């Protein structure tokens, strides 16, 4: 369907006089006696009137507004739980046939379908290889991808077993969610180590506890043994009686520094459904000592608790708080990093620090910008003490350290911060990690920046209230991974003394999960410490069994990460080499790949979760053999298409075919006049 309108940039009243003048001149031209008939004179006059009128219209340059109408079909999103737990009771070919059958049925109802797996949009055939199931996050992905579309319903195909994120059962949705219950709800005869709890980082020489949680409900009352092993050596063994929720405690000693791989295992019972969940590995990092972080503030603030909570996620840091009215004795120890909250305010405590710690300054609305300039060289030209409400956005070119991709997405969901409204001038040797964003507009103004000239290092956050960031992320994802990552990596960067190495090559995290892409960040520098590119990098990986693998990369001068794919569970040592100025530079380190075995914890489908989810959203629950009932429901619901108007504006002067028509009309008139004997 199309509607066409003409919009004049000049007054359309000019057409009236123009038409009269054109008619008058044409009449005078053809009123005299001609060697052809009156009817032919009228025809030739009509050609001239039409051509001249079109020419006048082009000079008035109106806009032609064509209104097209596009019909958008109702969309049904098929959210597929492609975790490995589904293969314990189903065949992947049969599951893909079921999905394809449902797609075909919905297509016959003139419904458009989109496929999603646990990671995002997908295509058939679905590969069931997910190592963890977060159904709540999967539904979030569907909403974000189709929020501006005619989304009529979501069909979630799952066994209802989720092992990450919040329970989807209590999710509220304005879009009805129909669930298709896969898997087997019969309880399997199985023993499973569901969880192991232990500190990820311990200190050399200390004894540390390890707790193993075991589900032995199918063998309640049966006696067995639980073992703790370090490699092939058994450290401890306990005889236990199996029950539904059994906790077994061990104690180990951190004898040598470095990464340590420990295993909890239970001998398999006869006729047990699966033996793959009878053991679970954990990786412990043994370190020599903690780094000390001092937090200084003139008064209490919610940010302070947030900072300490986030820093406590790493056992590498020991925090100390000093607020004058709460602490009688000023701090006197040696600190690696000092966080000054509400920095450069009039009542900020004056302290003398031992050594040369790095600083993280967090400003507030009353921070003295002159004191800031004197200390850091940063100039803020604030307009009449005005503040601006902004959200953070990640600088993807930041080179000091690397953040995970999902962090950039989470930053967009953070609440706003108050920052000074005005112009910012950063000192040399400063690089910005977070920029300010107002709405959809990214400003060239820093929110979080870092300075390092080789002798002095600091970070500066130009606003406070970051406690709302962590709280928001906890509400959205039941964890604060992105907030903790940016704070911990900022503190880690500040605590490391100036690195004068000409070649760095490090994994983006020290602990990966099976299925994760293993990525490394690298940087190479010449004699003047200018970053260089196009240097060949050779990476050698050494596994625990002494097997090695080699990878080749070409470096560049951007903050790019190098991807070597996925790796099996284990402790890996790596050695990266490159040639810089005819000299071989080497970078070494270790990292772990852990298998959480989340999909092996239970094999019994949980259809109750799916039923509650459907009931709370206005949908219904179905079994695979009732797929025709699901199709019939959509046929009877008569969901409607949406008609979208789309406007297309074209200037008449840009329509070359009209110019060609004008020329053609004039030429035809001229030719006929000459042919008929006019001179």
205 and 57 in one domain?
no
Residue 557 — pLDDT band, cuts 50, 70, 90?
A: low
- Mean pLDDT computed over 445-449: 95
Residue 583 — pLDDT band, cuts 50, 70, 90?
A: confident
Is residue 673 pLDDT above 60, yes or no?
Answer: yes
Gyration radius from the chain CA atoms:
36
Peptide bond into 59 cis (omega under 30): no
- Residues sharing a CB contact under 8 Å with residue 510, sequence separation 6 or more, in sequence order: 285, 590, 591, 592
Domain count, the chain: 5
- Return the residue matching tokens 């995290």: 509
Which domain, by its residues, includes 440? 291-495
Enumerate long-range contacts of 136-141, CB under 8 Å, 24 or more apart. 136/162, 136/165, 136/166, 136/167, 136/168, 136/171, 137/164, 137/165, 137/477, 138/79, 138/81, 139/79, 139/168, 139/171, 139/173, 139/177, 141/116
588 within domain boundaries: yes
Q: Between 545 and 666, where is the model more confident?
A: 666
281-330 pLDDT per residue, tens: 888 888 777 788 999 999 999 999 999 999 988 877 889 999 988 887 88
pLDDT at 409: 83
Sign, Cα dihedral of 456, 459, 463, 467: negative
- Residues sharing a CB contact under 8 Å with residue 23, sequence separation 6 or more, in sequence order: 49
89 and 10 in one domain?
no
pLDDT at 9: 67
231 within domain boundaries: yes
466 and 373 in one domain?
yes
- Mean pLDDT computed over 357-363: 92
Residue 391 — pLDDT band, cuts 50, 70, 90?
A: very high
98 and 6 in one domain?
no
In terms of residues, how long is the chain? 679
Is residue 254 pLDDT above 90, yes or no?
Answer: no
- Residues sharing a CB contact under 8 Å with residue 21, sequence separation 6 or more, in sequence order: none
pLDDT at 161: 85
Q: Between 3 and 99, where is the model more confident?
A: 99
pLDDT at 405: 67
528 and 484 in one domain?
no
Residue 611 — pLDDT band, cuts 50, 70, 90?
A: very high
pLDDT at 558: 52
- Mean pLDDT computed over 618-632: 91
- Mean pLDDT computed over 48-60: 85
Percent of all residues in the chain with a pLDDT value above 90, rounded to a whole number: 29
CB count in 10 Å sphere of residue 589: 15
pTM, rounded to two decimals: 0.57
Worst-scoring range by mean pLDDT, 176-180, 211-215, 371-375, 401-405? 401-405
Q: Between 33 and 503, where is the model more confident?
A: 503
Q: What's the CATH number where 277 sits?
A: 2.60.40.10
- Mean pLDDT computed over 461-490: 92
Q: What's the CATH number where 476 sits?
A: 3.40.50.880
Are 306 and 466 in contact, with CB atoms under 8 Å apart? yes
486 and 439 in one domain?
yes
> CA–CA separation, 126 vs 107, rounded Å?
19
Residue 89 — pLDDT band, cuts 50, 70, 90?
A: confident
Which of 263, 287, 311 lies at the terminal end of a domain, its last residue?
287
670 and 553 in one domain?
no
162 and 98 in one domain?
yes
184 within domain boundaries: no
* Mean pLDDT, the chain, whole residue set: 86
Worst-scoring range by mean pLDDT, 9-13, 394-398, 644-648? 9-13
pLDDT at 242: 92
Which of 287, 317, 343 lies at the terminal end of a domain, its last residue?
287
Worst-scoring range by mean pLDDT, 2-16, 112-126, 385-399, 645-659? 2-16
368 and 321 in one domain?
yes
535 and 475 in one domain?
no
6 within domain boundaries: yes
441 and 579 in one domain?
no
- Mean pLDDT computed over 47-67: 84
441 within domain boundaries: yes
> CA–CA separation, 188 vs 197, rounded Å?
25
44 within domain boundaries: yes
- Mean pLDDT computed over 36-59: 84
348 and 491 in one domain?
yes
74 within domain boundaries: no
> CA–CA separation, 424 vs 363, rounded Å?
14
169 within domain boundaries: yes
Strand partners, 577: 538, 586
């Amino acid at each position: 369907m199309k509607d066409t309108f003409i919009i004049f940039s000049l007054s359309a009243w000019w057409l009236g006089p123009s038409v009269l003048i054109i008619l008058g001149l044409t009449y005078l031209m053809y009123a005299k006696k001609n060697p052809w008939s009156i009817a032919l004179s009228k025809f030739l006059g009509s050609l001239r009137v039409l051509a001249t009128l079109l020419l006048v219209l082009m000079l008035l340059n109106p806009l032609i507004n064509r209104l097209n109408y596009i019909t958008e079909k109702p969309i049904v999103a098929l959210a597929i739980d492609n975790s490995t737990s589904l293969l314990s009771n189903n065949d992947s070919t049969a599951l893909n046939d079921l999905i394809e059958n449902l797609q075909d049925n919905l297509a016959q109802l003139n419904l458009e379908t989109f496929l999603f797996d646990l990671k995002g949009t997908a295509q058939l055939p679905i590969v069931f290889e997910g190592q963890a199931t977060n159904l709540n996050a999967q539904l979030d992905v569907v909403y974000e991808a189709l929020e501006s579309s005619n989304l009529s319903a979501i069909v979630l195909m799952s066994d209802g077993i989720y092992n990450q994120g919040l329970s989807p059962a209590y999710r509220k949705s304005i879009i009805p969610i129909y669930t298709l219950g896969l898997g087997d709800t019969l309880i399997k005869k199985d023993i499973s180590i569901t969880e192991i709890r232990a500190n990820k980082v311990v200190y050399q020489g200390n004894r540390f506890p390890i707790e193993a949680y075991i589900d032995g409900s199918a063998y309640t009352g049966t006696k067995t043994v639980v073992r703790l092993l370090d490699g092939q050596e058994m450290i401890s063994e306990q005889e236990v009686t199996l029950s539904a929720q059994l906790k077994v405690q061990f104690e180990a000693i951190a004898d040598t520094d470095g990464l340590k791989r420990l295993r909890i295992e239970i001998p398999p019972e006869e006729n047990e459904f699966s033996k793959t969940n009878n053991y679970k590995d954990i990786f412990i990092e043994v370190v020599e000592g903690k780094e000390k972080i001092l937090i200084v503030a003139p008064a209490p603030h919610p940010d302070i608790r947030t900072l300490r909570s986030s820093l406590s996620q790493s056992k590498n840091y020991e925090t100390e708080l000093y607020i004058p009215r709460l602490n009688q004795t000023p701090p006197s120890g040696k600190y690696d990093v000092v966080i000054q909250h509400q920095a450069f305010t009039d009542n900020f405590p004056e302290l003398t620090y031992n050594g040369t710690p790095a600083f993280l300054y967090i400003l507030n609305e009353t921070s003295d910008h002159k004191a800031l300039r004197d200390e850091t060289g940063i100039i803020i030209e604030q307009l009449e003490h005005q503040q601006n409400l902004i959200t953070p956005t990640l600088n993807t070119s930041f080179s000091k350290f690397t953040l995970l991709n999902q962090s950039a997405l989470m930053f967009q969901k953070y609440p706003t911060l108050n920052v000074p409204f005005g112009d910012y001038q950063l000192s040399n040797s400063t690089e910005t990690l977070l920029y300010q964003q107002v709405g959809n507009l990214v400003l060239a103004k820093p929110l979080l920046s870092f300075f390092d000239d080789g002798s002095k290092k600091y970070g500066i956050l130009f606003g406070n209230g970051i406690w709302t960031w962590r709280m928001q992320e906890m509400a959205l994802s039941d964890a604060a991974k992105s907030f903790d990552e940016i704070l911990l990596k900022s503190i880690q960067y500040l605590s490391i003394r100036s690195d004068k190495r000409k070649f760095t090559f490090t994994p983006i995290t020290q602990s990966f999960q099976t299925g994760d892409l293993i990525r490394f960040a690298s940087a190479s520098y010449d004699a003047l410490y200018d970053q260089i590119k196009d240097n060949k990098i050779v990476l050698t990986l050494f596994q625990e069994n002494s097997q090695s693998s080699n990878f080749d990369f070409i470096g560049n001068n951007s903050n790019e990460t190098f991807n070597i794919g996925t790796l099996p569970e284990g402790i890996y040592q790596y050695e990266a080499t490159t040639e810089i100025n005819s000299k071989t530079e080497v970078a070494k380190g270790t990292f772990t790949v852990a298998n959480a075995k989340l999909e092996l914890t239970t094999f019994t489908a949980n259809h109750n979760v799916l039923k509650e989810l459907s009931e709370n959203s206005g949908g219904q629950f179905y079994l695979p053999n009732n797929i025709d009932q699901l199709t019939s429901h959509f046929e009877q619901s008569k969901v409607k298409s949406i008609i979208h108007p789309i406007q297309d504006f074209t200037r008449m002067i840009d329509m070359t075919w009209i110019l060609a028509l004008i020329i053609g009309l004039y030429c035809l008139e001229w030719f006929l006049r000459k042919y008929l004997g006019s001179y």
